[in-house]
Structure formats: structure tokens, C-alpha cells
Amino acid sequence: MPAERKKPASMEEKESLLNSKEKDCSERRPVSSREKPKEEIKLTAKKEVIKVPEDKKKKLEEDKRKKEDKERKKKEEEKVKAEEELKKKEEEEKKKHEEERKKQEEQAKRQQEEEAAQLKEKEESLQLHQEAWERHQLRKELRSKNQNAPDNRPEENFFSRLDSSLKKNTAFVKKLKTITEQQRDSLSHDFNGLNLSKYIAEAVASIVEAKLKISDVNCAVHLCSLFHQRYADFAPSLLQVWKKHFEARKEEKTPNITKLRTDLRFIAELTIVGIFTDKEGLSVIYEQLKNIINADRESHTHVSVVISFCRHCGDDIAGLVPRKVKSAAEKFNLSFPPSEIISPEKQQPFQNLLKEYFTSLTKHLKRDHRELQNTERQNR
């Protein structure tokens, strides 16, 4: 066999190049219409697969954002709520502190007022105690002087040195009709320089007729003591004139309440200081008080007279202990003067008389109160 002819090298290279070109062309060859839908389906599916995770991711992110917003909003609300609660708590604490402060201030103020009231009450009680002892001592000393007056009156030659002129004596007697506490010193001075032996009756009449105030009674008692210690016939004359004066008053339809109150106090003081004996003075006082009370059992128009008598003379005449005195004695351990000028046996009739009047007065007040309540009900 004939030997094959060898192809030249250049030809092999050419064939190799052609083959590779054909391969490239075949690879770049367009896809046929049959193969194209499959590829599109694959791409669409691939896109959908990619799209689904993206939507899910978006949703998750949205949910996460909403959750964070919700949590943030919740935290803000909680913060606001906490701040409000804190503010409310602070306000409550402030209010509580303010109330406590006010309460403490009120308590301190009340305590100060109570202490001030107690101090004032103590001062008043001490003053009452001092006044009671001073009055008791003065009465006791004056009573002793007046009871011992018969043994200590001046001799006849004493009166010769005094002024007996009509002008000065009558002027003095006229002044006795208008006795006031402010005139005590001037009247005492005038009395010491006058010889009133011939003017006792006129002086007594002026004293009984004098329109005294309650505050002037002590001055009148002082002048009566001066008369009694110097003139023996003064006290009997005064007692007789008082009796006539009270007898005349029984006929009065509308007695002068002010004069009645002053006269009863005056006659009681004259008895306490010993110008009248206990028997004489207490008899006149009891008779007058009894007449007032018996005539006043229904109307009680003279209650002010009885109350004034009890306030000013009740301790010595009737042995009454004022409520203020009793309270001060118990509260501050004070010892008030005993009622020893008039004996308890002589005080008893006055106590019984005043108790009866008090009972009738309480019944009257209760009756008036019931009538007032009935009137109020009718008005309603």
C-alpha cells in the first residue's frame, strides 16, 4: 500500500482553528423557540424565590419596627406615668407635710392659747384671792373698831375744838346726799374738822336718801363708821330711819330697783362692819329680802337685786361660796378667808330663803323655755 501522504503542519493547525470556531458558534447559537419557555420559567421561578425572602424580610423588619415603636411608646407612656405618679406622690407628700405643719402650728397655737388662758386664769385667781383676804381683813378690823367704839369715843372737851358753824355743817350734810367714792378723802377731811353733834338727824336722813351707786357703798359705809365711832346716837338714829324708809317702800307699786339693790347692799355692809348689831341688822336684812322674794316668786323682776346681794354680801351673810372662789381654791390650791364674821346659825335662815328663790326661779326659766320652744315649733 502506498504510504499515506502526511499533511503538512500548517493544515492541522487550520483544522484545529476551524473546529474551535465551529464549537464557539454552536455555543453562541440562539436558543430555539422550544427551549426558551423553559428558561423563562426557571428565571421567573428563581426571581419569585428571591422575591419571597425579600417580602418576608421586609415584613419582619416592619414587624420589628412596629414592635420597637410599640415598646418605645410603652416605655414613654410608662415613663410619663411614672413621672406623673412621682409628681403626684411629691404633691401628696408636700400636702401631707403642709397639713402636718399646719397641724403642728395649730397645736402650738392652741397650746400657747391654753397656756395663756391658764396663766390669765391663775393671775385672776391670785388677784381674787388677794382681794378676798384684803376685804376680809378690812371688814374684820373695821368691825372690831365699830364694836369697840362705845369704849373709845372722845370726851366732851374734844368737840369744843371742832367747827360748829351752821354754814359749814349744813354744807357738809348736803354733800352726804351725793356721796361718791371719789369724794372719800375730802368728805373724811371735812368730817374730822366739824362738830356735827347737833346735826346727826339731818346727816342720817341725807345718808338714807342718798342715791348711791354700788361702787359708792364702801365710801358711805366708811363715813357711817366715822360717825358711829364719834357719836353714840348715830347708829340708833340710822337704824330707825332705815326701818321707816323700808316701811314706806312697801306701799310703792313700782319700787326703784336700783335704789332697792343699793339699799340692801348698804344695810348688809353696815351690819357686817358692826355699826348695827347682828340681831338688829340681820333682822332688817332678812325682812327686806323676804319681802322681795315673796313678792317676786312668779315674775322674778327683782332677780338682779337678789343676785347683787349674793355677789357682794352672800359670803358673809349667807355663807355662800362663789363658783370662781371654789374653782380657784381647787385648781390652784388657794386658801380663801373663812366666813366667820356671821356665825353659821345666823346664816342658815338666809340660805333657806335664797334656796327657795332659786328653786322658783329655775321653774320659771324652764316654763319660759318650754313656751319658747312651742312658739318656735308653731313658727316653723
For residues 226-237, average pLDDT: 95
- Does residue 201 sit within a domain? yes
- Does residue 285 sit within a domain? no
Confidence of residue 292 (pLDDT cuts 50, 70, 90): confident
Q: 273 Cβ partners below 8 Å, 6+ apart?
A: 139, 142, 143, 146, 221, 225
For residues 248-272, average pLDDT: 87
Residue closest to 357 by CA, chosen among 288, 278, 287, 300: 300
Region of poorest pLDDT, from 73-82, 176-185, 300-309, 360-369: 73-82
Confidence of residue 57 (pLDDT cuts 50, 70, 90): confident
The 10 Å CB-count burial string (b at 16+, else e) for 141-176 is: ebbeebeebeeeeeeeeeeeebeeeeeebeebbebb
- Does residue 23 sit within a domain? no
Q: What is the mean pLDDT of the chain?
A: 85
Q: Is pLDDT larger for residue 57 or for residue 95? A: 95
Question: How far is it, in rounded angstroms, from Cα 341 to Cα 269?
Answer: 11
User: Domain range holding 195?
Assistant: 155-230
Residue 7 has pLDDT above 70, yes or no: no
Question: How far is it, in rounded angstroms, from Cα 146 to Cα 144?
Answer: 6
The string of pLDDT tens digits covering residues 327-339 is 888 888 888 888 8
**Count: domains in the chain:** 1
- Does residue 193 sit within a domain? yes
- Does residue 172 sit within a domain? yes
- pLDDT at position 8: 47
- pLDDT at position 76: 86
Using DSSP's 3-state secondary structure scheme, residue 324 falls into helix
- Does residue 337 sit within a domain? no
The string of pLDDT tens digits covering residues 122-145 is 898 999 889 889 988 999 999 999
- pLDDT at position 33: 47
Confidence of residue 78 (pLDDT cuts 50, 70, 90): confident
Q: Which helix (H) or strand (E) holds 313?
A: helix 303-317
- Does residue 71 sit within a domain? no
With beta carbons less than 8 A apart as the criterion, state whether 149 and 229 touch: yes
Q: Report the percent of the chain where pLDDT is more than 90.
A: 49
The winner for highest mean pLDDT among 21-35, 54-68, 218-232 is 218-232
Residue 45 has pLDDT above 80, yes or no: no
- Does residue 175 sit within a domain? yes
